[in-house]
Amino acid sequence: MHIFYTPDISKNTYTLNEEESKHCVRVLRLSKGTVVNLVDGIGGFYTAEIIDDHPKKVTLSVLNVEREFHKRNHYLHIAVAPTKNIDRLEWFLEKATELGIDEITPIITDRSERRIVKDDRLNKVITAAVKQSIKAYHPKLNEAISFDDFLKQPFDGERLIAHCIQDAEKKFISDLAVPHQKYLILIGPEGDFTPEEVGLALNKGFKPLTLGENRLRTETAALSVCFEINYLNR
């Protein structure tokens, strides 16, 4: 199954951009008459036929479209401190997209190892994972924002913060998350959130979360949360 990401599709015919056209014709060796699939990132899953296999502007004719393709019964937003090694953040984005996630926000905390995040490359990682895992919904990647400013943003749903401060009262996701809701979960940097940051989040209505006794890397903790939320809403 060959899938192309076409976020601007709006008519019964569509022309791939030059990069995608070259990939279609010269890499995948697809030609006129081949049936492929398109996804628009907002739930549309299209079946289309190649009607012009020009290597710089492949044109497709839409044969069928399914709306809300594999729409999930919950909404998951993970705000995570970007890792010093960007490959680890890319790994999280890829795997979280495959599992199912709706929104990601890089948050810059007091102990963040990385304070600059380039969205273009990360969005390409997400798009590739969308196509690989046959998703019709493209997760939203927000611009990096400071922890304090992020807490000022409104969110209508369940809010959790995972932290490692000892002797603090915390609960597991299974004890906190009500199925089929909107969730916003905060994951800190390798050095964890500061006590002051945890206090700010708790004052904003976030509930303290534990991910168990094991010490996890940032991207592992974030992916663990993603898996558990999707498992609870299966």
Task: Please write the tens of the pLDDT for every residue from 175-196.
Answer: 999 999 999 999 999 999 999 9
Angstrom distance (rounded) from CA 188 to CA 168: 16
Q: Is the pLDDT of residue 166 over 90?
A: no
- Tell me, what DSSP letter sits at residue 194? -
**What's the confidence (pLDDT) of residue 79?**
98
N- to C-terminal Cα distance for the chain?
25
pLDDT at 6: 97
Whether the per-residue pLDDT at 167 is higher than 90: the answer is: no
Mean of the pLDDT values across residues 167-174? 93
Q: What does the pLDDT read at residue 1?
A: 84
Residue 2: pLDDT over 90: yes
Strands in the chain per DSSP E: 3-5, 13-15, 35-39, 45-52, 59-66, 75-80, 103-108, 140-141, 145-146, 158-162, 182-187, 207-209
Give pLDDT, residue 85.
Answer: 94
Q: How many Å is the Cα radius of gyration of the chain?
A: 20
pLDDT band at residue 45 using 50, 70 and 90 as cut-offs: very high
Which residue is it, tokens 């899938």?
3
> What average pLDDT score do residues 149-166 get?
95
What pLDDT does 60 receive?
A: 98
Residue 230: pLDDT band (50, 70, 90) is: very high
pLDDT-based confidence at 216, cuts 50/70/90?
very high
Q: What is the pLDDT of residues 30-44, one digit of tens each?
A: 999 999 999 999 999
Cα–Cα nearest to 1, from 31, 37, 47: 37
Contacts of 198 (CB under 8 A, 6+ apart): 161, 163, 165, 168, 208
Dump pLDDT digits (tens) for 64-88. 999 999 999 999 999 999 999 999 9
Share of the chain above pLDDT 70, in %: 100
Q: If you ran DSSP here, which 8-state letter would residue 68 be given? A: S
Which residues, in sequence order, are bridge partners of residue 50?
Answer: 60
